Structure 1
């Protein structure tokens, strides 16, 4: 009887377990459903509280922004009513408005308009014409002196939507004198609202008191300027208090929303902060769904747990056999490869090194196993290699390729290119890195030589024209940032064609090399650059050098070439000479100019030196003085 009872009990055990699981799941589902439904109201209340805080903060920001505009407008109105609108006053105010606009990011534009609608400030101060001038008609017809907030209008100068704040100013006799206008960009307000995102599909909308949208985040450009004055927020009597909550279907995107609205007590606008109701309640729904899925998972777990364990055991056996075979193949390939194959553990020590290590780094495999994998990496390249290894250990990268210098046992150092790949355990976690490294020292030497040829003049050894143009752009940008000066000398060998004709091209090449050597001797600082500009013409770039310093260096070069005593019978002085043209400027003070302007001015000075008889230095300032004297005569 006991055996039969045990067998019967064993056969009934799955049913009992299933019944227990079902009862448990029903209980969990019931309790979870009740708790989630009870948690629904606090979720909505919490969202309303959060949106109320956002709405109050953004309403205060909008009021502060308008107050900031109004304070500036009031000051300009007072100045106009005291000093009038004569040219001197307007000129001072125009500068003041421009400075204020640049100093305060939220101010889009500031302007003054006379009683006839003429803009007294320049078009650059504001979008000189707006798509609507209702504010002007309002002040023209109304004697009220308080600030007037207009609807959003589109600036025809830059296409931005703006909301205007304006005040009337009077003439001394009290009649209408014109309007002082300020504007805030709708885009600025929209970008500011991005900081207060309540949810992924939340929105913040600032509206005029009659329903015109001033700014919205998101989709500001799509909705700004639209009139929503026929919605319940503006029509329903129950929604007309200074602030409150509202659940509604948005007329803009058709989404069911939970919102909080706040009406400004000082200006005619309403701020509405909303969140997608479905999105807000999504965690609540997800929690209830997860409970149900959890219950179903428990039921399925009891039914399949045995099969899963057997499958996992079989899978483990198959994977163990596969790993043995894979390890054999790996060793066969690694030991037959001319590249060095290494395996690096998570402790960054070498676990395996292929025999080719003796050829690549000069050390035998048994000498390297167990040593730090990065011990031989050049100190300057070590941070780069270490960062890649760390990223692989963290799982951020599975593969990487890196080039670096490494110590060689016989040589000083070699360049290596390593391709690395993460290896993983059965559970997917990283257990090391396999690296395949090859010697690319000769390739690096060739690349260095090619880079040198690309920027060096083969005849003189100076920088070539391409390198000169690159450095001129770099030094111009640096001088612009540092507000420093930049000097340039243009040097030309006098009567060089006749020199070639008389002595031959080999002698001409030798002459150019001598001149280049003299010019190169004046390169005293890291930033200085001597270049062959073309043919017999040279250039010398002198960062942080003014016209006086530039002239001194140019004169030394001219004198040194003449003193070199290279015979040139066709030259009036019977020796090789050069003409030098120089120029210096401060890029920060010449915003409309570019690098070409400096070359052009120096080149013009060079030609002036030639015209004046050659074998001389002319600076651009001297050329300008000569031109002014000639024009005065």
Structure 2
């Protein structure tokens, strides 16, 4: 057996014992907690069932009460539409209404109103009773003949809250004739709800469909007329069903409640029967605490015995570990190296990290051990590194060398070069990877700088001729594919030789740098390129730009240099000026032409600008007109 496998076997023993103890304790607590929670849920479910029975019974009672009112109203409507609203008919109906009100206790009042809103029955019956005429306006504006259940209103006669039920009656010609109105007292409904003993802090409420409370027990007068339209019961789409259980924090008294709601199928009414959740769960809570105390005591006893067992196993492990410490030689070599040495397990976690990690990546070994070995690698480089590691874990390759970017604790990132080699068990199976990594950031920076120097003009900082030629070919090919335009400006400093002769080469270099800065300021898109073409001549490549756009850019550059006012006594303008030649073409339509044709067209335009007196912009025509030979003409 290898040393690594011996140590792994020793380290797993106390872990397994500790895991067994922990799992046992967790299982006991979990099962006990689950049983208590199931008991709690059963109590709540039982309460919901009881509330459901109450809600259904009270919904039936509310519908029956309104049906009783409506039956009387329907009869009066029928009589009025047959006999009219003459004094004799009204007198007879008034007696009938008064007799019906006296005979049925739940009826608070009955009345007839004509089409002008005048009370046709005795004023003492209704005129001084209701202070709301919403029902009248509803029937006056709506031709529907259905019963209308109104909002709870205050009775002026006796101060009680009442609910209205009304129907429209028509004149013989079908026009609006008036309203027959019946009311039922909210106090009657609240008193009826007192018969249901469902808990000390329980409540029953009858609510209008738009959220106004019609009647409630207890505290009926305190809550009648209050709106609960903002409650989830009226806003939550999942609760807009005929009936269901509903747990909520009451906006009326702040108590957490278990309830059941039932919506009427015939009237805009909802009955909500609730019970205080804390009161409901109090007996269960007391019993659950008592039972859980016994369970916790048992778990603590098991945990203490398990802790003693694990400690004894750890002590034996430490003694056995002293016999298998033959890895010291490897550690000595690794820790003396300036390169970072790491060992990666099959789970891709770092098993060992040498002290040089602090210098290479800025982290101490104890901060890295146990972490993901590939965690710090740049996201763009990680797939390649991951593929190499996966291949080595499978045994497809034994050794690999790769370069990648990695996060550094103090710096933003560093370049690392890692040499990786697999390690194997005695039976030949792969058990991990050893990586030796070194920082090659300075080398990478030098390579980058050399690449920059190869394509950059040292005096002006613009692209050099080599870079310009490469980009011209690339943009020509792209414009050909996209069937877009490609523009080019050739720019030359006027009378530059005389400027050098008059002011010296240092001043000439400074002049070129100023011109380069003006040209570079016009590079506003990713594809644009400003380059020093040679000597005092510059070029600007403008992808996806037609002749007009090319001319605008060239004119801005010429004007900016002229306005800079660099003194040049030998120049007729008394300052440094530019001659600019521009050309634009669409490569897709110039199949036989090439990049040289565009450069030659712009160059010819530049010479035309010089011949025309300098300090000006000249644009070439289409490449085909300038170069008939290149276009096949």
Structure 2-normalised TM-score?
Answer: 0.46
Bigger relative CO (Cα 8 Å, ≥ 6 apart): 2
